[in-house]
Amino acid sequence: MRDVYFQGVGMVKCGRFNERIEINAARACINALKDAGINWREVQAAYATHVMQGVSAGQKVVSQIGLTGLNVTNVENACASGSTGIHHAYYDVASGKYDIVLVVGFEKMQKGVIDSNSGERSYEDKMGMRIMPGEYAMKAQRHMYEYGTTPEQMARVSVKNHKNGCYNPYAHYQKELTLEEVLHSRMISDPLTLLQACPTSDGAAAAILVSENVAKKNNNRDLIKLIGTSVQTESVFEEEDLTTRTANTAYEMANVGPEDINLAEVHDAFTIGELLHYEALGFCELGESGRLIDEGVTEISGSLPVSPSGGLQSRGHPLGMTGIAQVCEIVWQLRGESKQRQVRNNPKVGLTHTQGAGGVCSVSIISK
């Protein structure tokens, strides 16, 4: 298998827009092409990742740039759609099938709670136990009971990530919050308040993966390599946490461990999620995530910055975009191009993590 590199990445600002999403998705692709120094005609295949954008949405995006006849594959895998597209593009390049593959993730979303259920509803659905705020709230209550995690520790995730988002020009929300504002915002599912939930946003991001010969030919910057990738689903036969199992597979592929990770972008759809992911990814022991947030370990200035982009909490969570936006942030951070939100620990290895409805999880490990 060949080494695979990120040659270029690009985004557009997240928010709520009247424009058709394929236009913004095409802009993200053009931004990635400019960053890569690659002509659109050189792209040999593309993955278009989205959840609710309908039939052949990817073909609508590429038609905005130019109909070159390339292979376009649409990918839907819940919140992990973007990172799943990255996963498949990796193997296309690593196997030698293609030298240049583009992945574009995009979503145009409605306000309010995302309804992931369809068809006949169970009693759990009707009681509100199968919607994301309810599921994460139950996880929060359990963690509080088992480990003494406090509402203040969960709220600090929101404070941290909204502060980070102030420095990200692509973030939906660019406003600092106080701990009191987060804790006293409207309760949505006890103990989670409104400002501990990510917004539903429109947005698009793109990444271009290339073989080593293309990377070395076209690059005068640090080469950014995708060294580990894993996409997995839940199993009834194992007690191991899904994120832990997925991460361990990626760590093994990359020949690194959690102690080697210098920064991470994780799936902080709700604040408790980020704390749970600290533990599941091996950044700390079970029950110790509250200490990490209290001590500032995961701040931009900390020893293990998490979600320097602002995360889903501040940047937003356009479902098909998220995994690719995380890659954009890690690439920019490893290059030292993140300006005011640049992490201070001279990162060499970064990690992205997404998970979604249906029990899907993806972890990617990126190095320079």
Q: Which residues are catalytic?
A: 79, 317
- Going by C-alpha positions, the residue among 316, 63, 267, 273 that lies closest to residue 149 is 273
Sheet holding 349-356, edge to edge: 71-75, 45-49, 100-107, 203-211, 4-11, 225-233, 360-367, 349-356, 263-265
Pull the structure tokens for residue 254: 């990359």
Burial class (CB in 10 A: 0-12, 13-18, 19+), 126: exposed
Burial class (CB in 10 A: 0-12, 13-18, 19+), 258: middle
Is-contact 258 303, C-beta < 8 A? no
Phi, psi of 189 (to 5 degrees): -165, 105
| Cβ atoms within 10 Å of 299's Cβ, excluding its own | 20
End-to-end CA distance of the chain: 19
- Going by C-alpha positions, the residue among 223, 201, 206, 205 that lies closest to residue 214 is 223
Longest Cα–Cα distance of the chain, Å, equals 58
